Amino acid sequence: MKNPADSIAIAHRVLAHEDFDRTAQILLNLLNNAQRKFPAAKRCLHLEIDGHRDSLGRFDQDMLELQSKFMAEFLIQFLTRAETPLAVIQNPNSQNNQIPEELHLFKVDPPLGGQGESKTKPRF
């Protein structure tokens, strides 16, 4: 990197045996490592996904949630740009360089039939 203002590329391939929890932790670790090595440099993530498809070729629930919720609604704030198999996401704001060291997310399962209470499970 010639200049701290240059962008750095971060790449990750999700392997077939890696679930949402593992992948989210890996991505967070990659961002923290990039921030330590290249403070405040623009970060661009390229994500590839092996497997995680149903018989119709659609992503399984974990990888759909990872790309559509986790990446687009949370992780993008710590990046300038993210390229996933589903979409290219551009951060419309300034990149946040205060990356958390760990995550405490919860998975909410909607009640069956739309009635009753939702069940929450720790994501990790």
Query: Is 64 within the bounds of a domain?
Result: yes
**The pTM is what?**
0.80
Tokens of 112: 């069956």
Query: Is 101 within the bounds of a domain?
Result: yes
- Residues above pLDDT 90, as percent of the chain: 77
Domain count, the chain: 1
Per-residue model confidence as pLDDT tens digits over 46-97 = 999 999 999 999 999 999 999 999 999 999 999 999 999 999 999 999 999 9
Q: What is the pLDDT of residue 102?
A: 86
Query: Is 1 within the bounds of a domain?
Result: no
DSSP summary character for residue 11: E
Query: Is 2 within the bounds of a domain?
Result: no
Query: Could you tell me the residue range of the domain that residue 13 belongs to?
Result: 7-122
Q: What is the pLDDT of residue 56?
A: 94
Query: Is 38 within the bounds of a domain?
Result: yes
The mean predicted confidence, pLDDT, of the chain is 87
89 bridge partner residues: 82
